Amino acid sequence: MLGSLILVWACIFFVFLFVRIQRLKNFPPGPPPVPLFGNLLHVNMANPLKDFEQFAEKYGNIFSFYTGSKPTVFLNSFDVIKEALVTKAQDFSGRPQDFMINHLTENKGVILADYGPHWKDHRRFALMTLRNFGLGKQSMEEKILGEVSHLVADLDKNAGGTMNPQKMFHNVASNVIGLVLFGSRFDYSNELLQHYVQFITEISKILNGPWNMIYDTLPLLRILPLPFKKAFDNVQKLKTMNLSLINEHMRTRVPGEPRDFIDCYLDELDKRKNDGSTFSEDQLIMYILDLHFAGTDTTSNTLLSAFLYLMNYPEVQAKCQKEIDEVLESKDHASYEDRHNMPYTMAVIHEVQRVASTVPLSVFHCTTRDTTLMGYNIPKGTVIIPNLSTVLKEEGQWKFPHEFNPANFLNEQGQFEKPEAFIPFSTGPRVCLGEGLARMELFLVFVTLLRRFQFVWPKDGGEPDYTPVYGITMSPKPYRMHIRHRETVKQ
């Protein structure tokens, strides 16, 4: 027994001796990595953001962190992020290709595709298609308002009672991006929609939890039937559902007369049949999943944060409603153009995005060649993590960096003003594709609901907890809301 223990400890000693991780010359400082684990043992895997903040305080606004033996560099201030993603965009616009999320998406789609001609081609196509289908135009506004009318009908039924809004906002966001991708919406009780949302939610939970970090840090464990396997199973189910939608479009489409994103892509496939293009049916399957996931999770979680804060800052809610009433007056519905006359409401929406920090670590980048940043050498292929959560509460960038206060977005004249450090959608060439859609959707949902309803924290709801659930996308802890018709409130 004693001999076995000595042998085990000897093996561990030699592993640590010979598998030491050598820090690169003139590489950013950081916590010393442990063989095999890197810095995994240095952080709380359930929510490492506090640990990352402490590392920034100790090592500076640019520090290194190892996932296993892979070096990663964190960027922790607006100036550093701007230098990397804007000034040196060519060097820092790659995407790492060996993380769980890459394996789930098979490195297809556009969000996680590596920097180069393939990515540029698909991003150009996505931007052009989104514009053609009304992004920033009245046609998109009408689609969103049509979906919001279904949400209002649901809330009408629940007025006077309490409800959990989590699934509700997820369904709305899913249908809005679905209208762009598929050309149709689904009833909230529709089985296809429920399964789609369920599978995406389950994948998100795994990506947002410790199993994702374990998968990325310890590749040897990937072959084991651990909980992250469910994410891969769900992706296969979603791919089957997407293929069914594509086949239906193939049967019903009229070439050259696209109804939605899928039709546009199929038209593009027809044009590029013999030119060696990277456009393919497999690419389209993952493209749909890529855009649907990105367009659902972030928007729904931002809306959840918005109404959590509105319920617990009733004076802010009341001030928004007063402004909305004055601007809309006898109009049937809000228009996106109305935002220019609603400085306070716009300030509140942006302040929610700032404090929610829904995508705290952005989407990971990597260097496309050997480069330098702030005097440090960064080799090609190094994973780069822009810590947007630090920028959104950075001292010197905000009047009230550590509290919820719409004044962060109002000048001395009370007009809406957006500081340069407001980058919840990231910045540079890889800024979020759906930023325009998200902005329009948030405004129209926010204004429409506040015009009709008052949202109140339930008497039996306990103390509000603003601590978010950590993940690739942050979400508030589950809560309930009490809903009243504003006509009732005024009486």
Written as tens digits, the pLDDT of the chain (491 aa) is 444 444 444 444 444 444 456 667 899 999 999 888 888 888 887 788 999 999 999 999 999 999 888 899 999 999 999 999 999 999 999 999 888 888 888 878 888 888 888 888 889 998 888 887 766 566 889 999 999 999 999 999 989 999 999 889 999 999 999 998 988 888 888 888 788 888 888 888 888 778 888 888 888 888 888 888 999 999 999 999 999 999 999 999 999 999 889 999 999 998 887 777 788 888 899 888 888 888 888 999 999 999 999 999 999 999 999 999 999 998 999 999 999 999 999 999 999 999 999 999 999 999 999 999 999 999 999 999 999 999 999 999 999 999 999 999 999 999 999 999 999 999 999 999 889 899 999 999 999 999 999 999 998 878 899 988 887 888 899 999 999 999 744 43
Please report the pLDDT score of residue 13 as a whole number: 43
> Are 357 and 388 within 8 A, CB to CB?
yes
Q: Residue 451 has which token pair?
A: 């015009």
Residue type at 318 in one-letter notation: A
Please report the pLDDT score of residue 22 as a whole number: 67
Please report the pLDDT score of residue 295 as a whole number: 86
* DSSP-based three-state secondary structure for 129: helix
> In 126-280, which ranges are E strands?
162-163
Residue with the two structure tokens 């095999």 = 36
Q: Residue 272 has which token pair?
A: 């590029």
Please report the pLDDT score of residue 46 as a whole number: 79
The 3-state secondary structure of 310-335, one letter per residue:
HHHCHHHHHHHHHHHHHHHCCCCCCC
The 3-state secondary structure of 194-235, one letter per residue:
HHHHHHHHHHHHHHCCHHHHHHHHCHHHHHCCCCCHHHHHHH
Q: Residue 16 has which token pair?
A: 């640590």
Q: Cα separation of 406 and 399, whole Å?
A: 10
Please report the pLDDT score of residue 17 as a whole number: 42
Please report the pLDDT score of residue 197 as a whole number: 81
Residue with the two structure tokens 């679905």 = 178
CA-wise closest residue to 29 among 69, 70, 74, 81:
74
Residue with the two structure tokens 């292929």 = 381
What single-letter DSSP state applies at residue 24? P
Q: Cα separation of 332 and 465, whole Å?
A: 36
Please report the pLDDT score of residue 393 as a whole number: 96
Please report the pLDDT score of residue 107 as a whole number: 79
CA distances from 210 to 45, 205, 218, 233, 436 (A): 5, 10, 12, 18, 32
Please report the pLDDT score of residue 449 as a whole number: 97
Please report the pLDDT score of residue 223 as a whole number: 87
CA-wise closest residue to 29 among 458, 377, 291, 343:
377
Write down the CATH number for the domain with range 93-357+392-490.
1.10.630.10
The structural domains of the chain, with segments of one domain joined by +, span 93-357+392-490
Q: Residue 335 has which token pair?
A: 């228009």
